[in-house]
Each structure stands twice: as C-alpha cells, then as structure tokens.
C-alpha cells in the first residue's frame, strides 16, 4: 500500500529543474525499501530457551508436576505430545498452535496474522520525509547526471520532491485515517510478550513457517537434553571460548571473510505438527560459523548452474543412446513450479522424500561421505565450466 510513487515524484522534480532530458535519468536505478521487524523478531527467542539458562540449576529445580504451563489458564492447551516423544514423561505440557495462549487480545491478533506479519506503525509524515530526504541525497551522490548538477539545482530538486511528497502523504492520510496502529510497542503488550516468552518457546511450524507454535520451555529443554544425550552427540569438556577460537583459527587464512559473530551457534526447533515431533536446527547468523556459512552459500550459488547444466547434457546423451531421459538433477528447487507445470495428460510420476537425508550422510568416513560427494560435484562443475 504505497501512498505515492517515489520514482515519479523525483522524476517530476528533476524535469521541472532540468527539463525533459531528465526523464530517463532514473531508468537504470532501482528504488527499494526495507521493512520493519516482523512479529517473529519479538516473540521467537530460541537463544533464551536453549542458551541463556543454567542447565545445572534448571535440572535441579525443575519439577514437571509444577511446571508453569500446567496452570489452570493453560489447561485446555495441554498436549499428549510430551508423553509421545518422551515415553518416560508422566505429565502433559503445552504444545499448541492456538494463539489463545495469551489472554492479551491486543497481542493475540498479531501472531494470528503469522510470524512474518509486520506490525502496522503510526503514519509519521515527518519520519517518512526524513527517509525520503536521505534517498534524495543518495541519488544526488550516485547518479552521475544528478551529481553533475550545480548545488543550487540539486537543492531545488530536493525541495520540490519533498514538498510534493508531503502534499501526497497529507491527502493519503486524509483518506486512510481508519488505519490503526498495532500496539507492539505498548507497555502491556511488551509485558505480555515477556511473560509468554518466559514460559514458552515460540517457534515456526514445519512446512508452514508463518504459523507460530507455542511449546512449554521446560518440555522443549527436556527434549533437547534427551536428544543431546543420544549416541549421535559427543559431549566436549572444553570451554566454549576455546572452541570458538579453534573455529576462528580454521578460517583465519580466508582473509576475505568477515569475522562478525563470536559466539557458538545455539539450538532451534521447528514443530512438525504432522509427525508430532521436532526438527532440530542451529542458527548460522551472528555466530562463529556465520562467515563460513556465507562462503558455502556463495559457492553453492556459483557451482549449482554448472552442475545442473552438466546433468542436463548427460541426460540428453542417455536419451540419445537409450531412449530414456532420466532426471539426473533430482533436487527440487520449487514445488510450486512443479505443480504449475504438471502435464495435462496424466503420466505415472514417482517422487520420494529421503528421511533424515542430511543427518544420515556420514561426515567422518572416507568412503561415501559428505566430503567425497562435495568434491565430486565441485570437480564436475569445474570440468563443465572449463569445457
Ligand atoms: Zn510445561
């Protein structure tokens, strides 16, 4: 919902000051904007649940029978999932997607819109004009034709554009006064968010990431401790600082990498409602592995087109020889695209999901390991690029 076209306002101002020739000056310029934080930034706090707590003290003090999620107000939201996941568990805890978990109706309406929902703010014309002013300064700096104008003309363009924008915003405000401000910054909503996130982990739902799930902090910690105690994990008796330093040392020779984050990644969970279980993941943002993750993402973007082309070439060769065209590039990049392109005449289609695909690829054996697979694909991609 845009009150006016920023591009048109700037173009008009330029044309008034310079003449018709300025009409094309913005043709190669893309004007974008950023959004305020969505609800997710306020309510999803996995770090608080999994990292910022004292495990020893929690283990000592925790009494499942007296868990705060078993208060009368949450009675209707108690779930059998805990006993399903942990057969030795004897109590129900809250695991729910019901936003009625909060009795603050102001807060309740926001997660109902989804975790990606950006709360509506007050329409502050002065703030919008300040931002537009910054954009105009940037344009005066970056676009050669504008930068070449004399100081007086540049100032005039800015004044004309800001005056026009103010007029447009004022008339927009007259017509849309009914738009309300969502109370994310209000004191009672902030307090309720503190209470809610102090008792529950708010997390995304698997395959519907916009849907919030509320899980009792204590039970999700129990799940996490149980998982980390399994043979899949090895407990390291080392100080986190030493591990962080060791990880930094591993990437020190890659001087181009920014070393922003310093802390270890923490656990995060996604609720798989269709399986009554959780998918466990860790963050790559703002942690000691961030720069390496970024590098991996860049390399994947660089190599993937070559591997995809290679697969296509091989597939064509096989079709020429055997009259069967296999799909050697099996990763699905877009389910939506596949659905949109399904053949009108029905033909047998087979698709499969590999259970625990990435968890089961060995990383520590020389044969059939992840490293061997990565080397194979990188070599294929490089060879294809050279050919
Ligand atoms: Zn509980």
- Residue 85 CA to ligand 1 center (angstroms) comes to 14
- Residue 331 CA to ligand 1 center (angstroms) comes to 39
The H-assigned helical ranges of 31-95 are 39-43, 46-50, 55-61, 81-85
215 CB-contact burial (10 Å; exposed 0-12 / middle 13-18 / buried 19+): buried
pLDDT tier at 37, thresholds 50, 70, 90: very high
pLDDT tier at 53, thresholds 50, 70, 90: confident
- Residue 95 CA to ligand 1 center (angstroms) comes to 9
Q: Cβ neighbours of residue 153 under 8 Å, at least 6 residues apart?
A: 17, 18
- Residue 240 CA to ligand 1 center (angstroms) comes to 29
61-100 residue pLDDT tens: 999 999 999 999 999 999 999 998 888 888 999 999 999 9
Residues with Cβ–ion distance below 5 A, ligand 1: 67, 69, 93, 216, 218
What ranges do the domains of the chain cover? 6-33+122-175, 44-116+189-287, 291-386
- Residue 107 CA to ligand 1 center (angstroms) comes to 21
264-323 residue pLDDT tens: 888 899 999 988 999 998 888 888 888 888 888 888 888 888 888 888 999 999 999 999
pLDDT at position 352 = 67
- Residue 80 CA to ligand 1 center (angstroms) comes to 12
- Residue 93 CA to ligand 1 center (angstroms) comes to 4
pLDDT tier at 263, thresholds 50, 70, 90: confident
- Main-chain phi, psi angles of 149, to 5 degrees: -65, 155
pLDDT at position 121 = 86
Strand order from edge to edge, sheet including 93-96 = 78-79, 93-96, 208-216, 200-205, 267-272, 277-282
């Amino acid at each position: 919902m845009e009150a006016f076209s920023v591009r048109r306002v700037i173009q008009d101002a330029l044309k008034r000051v310079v003449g018709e020739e300025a009409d094309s000056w913005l043709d190669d310029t893309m004007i974008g904007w950023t959004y305020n934080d969505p609800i997710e930034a306020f309510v999803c706090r996995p770090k608080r649940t999994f990292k910022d707590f004292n495990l020893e003290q929690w283990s000592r003090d925790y009494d499942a029978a007296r868990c705060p999620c078993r208060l009368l107000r949450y009675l209707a939201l108690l779930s059998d999932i805990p006993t399903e996941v942990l057969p030795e568990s004897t109590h129900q805890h809250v695991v729910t997607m019901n936003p009625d978990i909060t009795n603050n109706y102001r807060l309740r309406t926001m997660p109902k819109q989804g975790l990606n929902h950006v709360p509506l703010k007050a329409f502050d014309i002065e703030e919008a004009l300040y931002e537009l002013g910054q954009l105009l300064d940037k344009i005066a700096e970056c676009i050669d034709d504008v930068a070449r104008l004399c100081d007086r003309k540049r100032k005039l363009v800015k004044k004309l554009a800001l005056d026009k924008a103010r007029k447009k915003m004022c008339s927009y405000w007259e017509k849309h006064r009914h738009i309300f401000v969502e109370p994310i910054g209000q004191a009672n909503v902030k307090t309720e968010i503190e209470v809610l996130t102090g008792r529950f982990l708010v997390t995304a739902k698997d395959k519907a990431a916009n849907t919030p799930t509320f899980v009792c902090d204590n039970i999700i910690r129990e799940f996490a401790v149980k998982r980390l105690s399994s043979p899949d994990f090895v407990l390291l008796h080392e100080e986190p600082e030493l591990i962080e330093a060791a990880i930094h040392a591993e990437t020190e020779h890659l001087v181009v990498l920014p070393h922003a984050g310093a802390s270890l990644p923490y656990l995060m969970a996604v609720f798989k409602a269709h399986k009554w279980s959780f998918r466990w993941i860790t963050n790559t943002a703002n942690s000691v592995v961030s720069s390496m993750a970024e590098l991996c993402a860049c390399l994947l973007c660089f190599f993937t087109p070559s591997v995809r082309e290679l697969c296509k070439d091989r597939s064509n060769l096989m079709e020429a020889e055997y009259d069967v065209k296999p799909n050697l590039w099996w990763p699905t990049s877009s389910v939506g695209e596949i659905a949109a392109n399904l053949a009108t005449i029905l033909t047998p289609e087979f698709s499969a999901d590999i259970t625990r695909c990435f968890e089961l690829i060995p990383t520590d054996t020389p044969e059939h390991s992840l490293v061997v697979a990565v080397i194979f694909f990188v070599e294929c991609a490089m060879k294809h690029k050279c050919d």
